[in-house]
Amino acid sequence: MRGHVLALSGGVGGAKLAAGLAAILAPERLTIAVNTGDDFEHLGLTICPDIDSVTYALAGLNDTERGWGVAGETWQAMAMLRDLGEADWFNLGDRDLGTHLARSWRLRAGESLSDVTSRLTRSLGIGPAVVPMSDAPVRTQVETSEGWLDFQRYFVAEQCRPVAKAIRFDGTPGAVPSPGLAEALARPDLAAIVLCPSNPFLSVDPILAVDGVRAALESRQVPLVAVSPLVGGKSLKGPLGKLLGELGLENSNRAIVDHYRGLIDHLIIDRSDAVDAEGLRAASVSVTVTGTVMHAAEDRERLAREALSAARIELEGHDAR
């Protein structure tokens, strides 16, 4: 099948698959809608970590070792901030700061997050539409033994150490999909939806919490393929394994499928979790077992091809570059 592909993504792992999809699909065939629940205001700037992870990955600027930010980054501004006695728990690289400055002043001048994101991604030569899940602020918060923490406090300042009891997305209900996400969901030529390998609870659930998105996915007429973020029952980066335990769920793909019940048709899982496949098929989800760890561009593109093939999407002559 030809047609348009909508990818839903968080940061890091999701951004890698998004980059793989962008490498093999013609730009006009792909919309990447990104979680903004991790966004926050810091030092007067609006930081959108997942949008930036996707943007840097698609522009080939991302730091693959660290998993976030720009490769070859320098930290002079951070050193100055520290000397000035300002908050230094959230690391802002010099080049990355340029992104936050460009975004923040334009938001303050009245542009929407969609407009700003489009401007930034086009300036960096990115072809596919990268859109926020919503232009309205949605803020993920985690309830811990220390009370409700804003996402970056929990994730970066506390390094996910406090035990998580519950998660909420402040601003929902009430946040409507961004124009780009709404348009992609309503496209007559929408042919597939891909859930990138992002944390279901922290990165995908905020997208599903945006008004109408879960309902749109539930009533979809096209295949929805998810790539599991688990590798050997754990996430490569981030707190998914820990979180599953704290929420009383098992560390396996069964928990992912149960969480996405009614939403996904197909789950791509890593070879190291092959033992999960039979149980997933019994739960009426079709399964691909393959290598899901994306070290290099070839891995990202191969996994993207497998996701599209599971969704019965054909590549066309002008797709693969």
User: What is the nearest approach in angstroms of ligand FO1 to the Cβ of residue 28?
Assistant: 27
Half-sphere exposure of 185 (CA within 13 A, CB side): 24
DSSP code for 27: G
Of 220 and 234, the one with the shorter C-beta distance to ligand FO1 is 234
Of 92 and 256, the one with the shorter C-beta distance to ligand FO1 is 92
Of 33 and 313, the one with the shorter C-beta distance to ligand FO1 is 33
Length of the chain: 321
CB-nearest residue to ligand FO1: 11
User: What is the nearest approach in angstroms of ligand FO1 to the Cβ of residue 92?
Assistant: 6
Of 152 and 178, the one with the shorter C-beta distance to ligand FO1 is 152
Instruction: Give the span between the Cα atoms of 316 and 203, in whole angstroms.
Output: 31
User: What is the nearest approach in angstroms of ligand FO1 to the Cβ of residue 187?
Assistant: 27
Of 92 and 267, the one with the shorter C-beta distance to ligand FO1 is 92
Q: Say how far residue 87 (Cα) sits from the centre of its chain.
A: 26
User: What is the nearest approach in angstroms of ligand FO1 to the Cβ of residue 155?
Assistant: 5
User: What is the nearest approach in angstroms of ligand FO1 to the Cβ of residue 19?
Assistant: 15
Residue in the structure block whose two tokens are 């976030």: 68
Question: Which residues form the interface with ligand FO1 (CB under 6 A)?
Answer: 10-12, 38, 47, 49-50, 52, 68-69, 90-92, 96, 152, 155-156
Q: Please name the residues in contact with 267: beta carbons below 8 A apart, sequence gap of 6 or more.
A: 225, 226, 227, 228, 253, 256, 257, 280, 285, 286, 287, 288
Instruction: Give the span between the Cα atoms of 15 and 38, in whole angstroms.
Output: 14
